[in-house]
A and B are shown apart, each in its own frame.
Chain A
């Protein structure tokens, strides 16, 4: 079994799903118009990812190679639907802002990618830690994106106004183009520091 700490670091930094692997872009760009939405989406995805990783790892010897993709999708879709029901029943406020995107988790290639690349080849404990690491990496990335966009676009952080009213808001940043700008700048900055460290 791989070192759990290493798996966590791998997910959060070395192979960060958003900034390094650049997968799961649809929810990343669509929901990060505010920090709360980004973190909410990240945590819901992480929850599905951890459960799906665990189950697929447990079933990895049972699932025949030929039908592994449909099996993964069934497992993932089941967890997503369960989470959707739970949010609707017990966290209606979060559901109101994320509701539209929850079904998108099913097609988030991050979850399928981890099932295929990691969970189907490793034991359940490693798979859980991989899920936690990747889930946290995704949550942090979405949270940071949301923070930056909310700050520049609406002058607020976690819905609390921080910029004086006279300071102009760049509305573009809470719209779709702002997501691309922010993602590009953050990726460039991360790569810069990474390369500097290597050199």
Chain B
């Protein structure tokens, strides 16, 4: 086997990989700005949905997180938007909860999940999440003696969302006064 047989394929592969890397870099730098904007828009839209009365939100840095709470945002009307990631049927169910200054839920949305289509995935239906608005205190699904009506055949997902809302409410009770 002569050296040429080894070097030539390696050089060709190197060149192809190099060109591909350059092309990817170019596309990445072009799309970085629009992608960031889209993500911010999506987040702003869901924040607005869980707390319609507020107009701006600011993330509280270095906040003490409890339970499944992942981030806390302070709204300009004195309320909080809290994101939580309780464990569902298949992975985390990212839940966003708006809580006003009196500790009452103003709205709730499931922002990201990988639950079963047709069952747990129904947690993104208004018929499920809208019932949370106006609730406060300690929440539980009807099966566990609470007032949250679970999605048919998706009790685990319903419990997950409920526990996310609970964790958010508990964070508010424990730390809400400090901010």
**A88 pairs with B16, CB closer than 8 A:** no
Does the CB pair B38–A88 fall under 8 Å? yes
The interface centre, meaning the residue of A62, A77, A82, A90 with most chain B CB atoms within 10 A of its CB, is A82
Distance in angstroms between the alpha carbons of A64 and B6 in the assembled complex: 10
Residues of the A chain whose Cβ atoms lie less than 8 Å from the Cβ of B12:
62-64, 67, 71
Number of interface residues of B (CB under 8 A): 24
Known: A62-B12, A74-B17. A85 touches B23 (CB 8 A): no
Q: Is A86 in contact with B24, judged by CB distance below 8 angstroms? A: no
Chain B facing A: main interface SS = helix
When distances are taken between beta carbons in the complex, the residues of chain B under 8 Å from A74 are 13, 16-17, 20
Q: Does B118 contact A (CB under 8 A)?
A: yes
Contact partners of A153 in chain B: CB under 8 A: 118
**Contact indicator B24/A175 (Cβ below 8 Å):** no
Partner of A66, one of B9, B24, B27, B153: B9
List, in ascending order, chain A residues with CB within 8 A of B13's CB.
Answer: 67, 70-71, 74
Closest to A173 in B: B118
B31 touches A171 (CB 8 A): no
Which of A59, A81, A171, A175 contacts B16 (CB under 8 A)? A59
Q: How far is the CB of B35 from chain A (nearest CB, A)?
A: 5
Contact mask for chain A residues 169-197; partner B; CB cutoff 8 A; 1 contact, 0 none: 10100110000000000000000000000
Partner of A81 from B5, B24, B38, B42 at Cβ < 8 Å: B24
Residue B131 interfacial (CB < 8 Å):
no
Whether A89 and B24, one on each chain, are in contact in the complex, defined by CB atoms closer than 8 angstroms, is no
Are B27 and A33 within 8 A (Cβ)?
Answer: no
Given contacts A175-B117, A175-B118, contact A82 B153 (CB under 8 A): no
Distance of A34 Cα from B117 Cα, bound (Å): 10
Residue numbers in B under 8 Å from A89 (CB-CB): 31, 34-35, 38
B28 in contact (CB, < 8 A): yes
Q: Which residues of B contact A70 (CB under 8 A)?
A: 13
- Starting from the known contacts A71-B12, A77-B20, 20 additional A-B residue pairs (CB-CB under 8 Å) come to A33-B117, A64-B8, A67-B12, A67-B13, A71-B13, A71-B16, A74-B16, A78-B24, A82-B24, A85-B27, A85-B28, A86-B27, A86-B31, A88-B38, A89-B31, A89-B38, A92-B42, A171-B153, A174-B117, A175-B118
Q: List 9 A-B contacts (CB under 8 A).
A: A33-B117, A59-B16, A66-B9, A67-B12, A71-B12, A78-B20, A85-B27, A89-B35, A171-B118
